[in-house]
Amino acid sequence: MQLCDLSETIDLGDQAALITYLNLQPVCPKCQQRLSDRVFDRWRYGRRVLCSGCGVQITWRSGTPFDGSRHSSTKLRRIVEGRADKADPVKVAQNCGIDVRSVKDWWSRLDVYEALTGIAGA
């Protein structure tokens, strides 16, 4: 995985990469109902969708470590890939425009999430 060939203009690709990393299925994290085809594209694009099962509004970030984060998907992907590549956290922080402590916090959070969910072959 490359850190340097990412651009803010390919946010859909960044979201797809994060959805793949998280091994997310298009299901509601609250009631597990599969999202309808009608809302799938909106979900995949990071838009808020209404679950027809429980009526809760969700995005693909709901129930993931990225829930509530204001970082762009591009930035989150850089954090995820920097960790996978065992990159220097200082460089990842510079690349993302955030401080190095935040990068390390994200990496610890992802360690926990991977251990709990078994994603990323952990």
In 10 A of CB 15, how many CB atoms? 22
Out of 30, 44, 104, 109, name the contact with Zn ion by CB under 5 A: 30
To Zn ion, the closest distance from the beta carbon of 55 in angstroms equals 7
Nearest to 1 by CA among 75, 73, 56, 82: 82
Distances (CA, A) of 114 to 21, 25, 70, 122: 10, 16, 21, 6
12 binds Zn ion (CB under 5 A): no
Give the span between the Cα atoms of 92 and 96, in whole angstroms: 6
How many alpha carbons lie under 13 Å from residue 90 in its C-beta half-sphere?
0
Q: Which two tokens stand for residue 65?
A: 């470590």
Q: Which range, of 51-59, 68-76, 91-99, 101-109, touches Zn ion by CB under 5 A? A: 51-59
31 counts as binding Zn ion under rule CB under 5 A: yes
Q: Is 54 in the site for Zn ion (CB under 5 A)?
A: yes
Which position among 19, 51, 79, 103 is part of the footprint of Zn ion (CB under 5 A)?
51
- What is the distance between the alpha carbons of residues 33 and 53, in angstroms, rounded to a whole number? 6
* Residue closer to Zn ion (CB basis): 2 or 57: 57
Q: Of 18, 22, 24, 28, which one interacts with Zn ion (CB under 5 A)?
A: 28
Q: List the interface residues with Zn ion, window 58-117 (CB under 5 A).
A: none
Q: Which residues bind Zn ion (CB under 5 A)?
A: 28, 30-31, 33, 51, 53-54
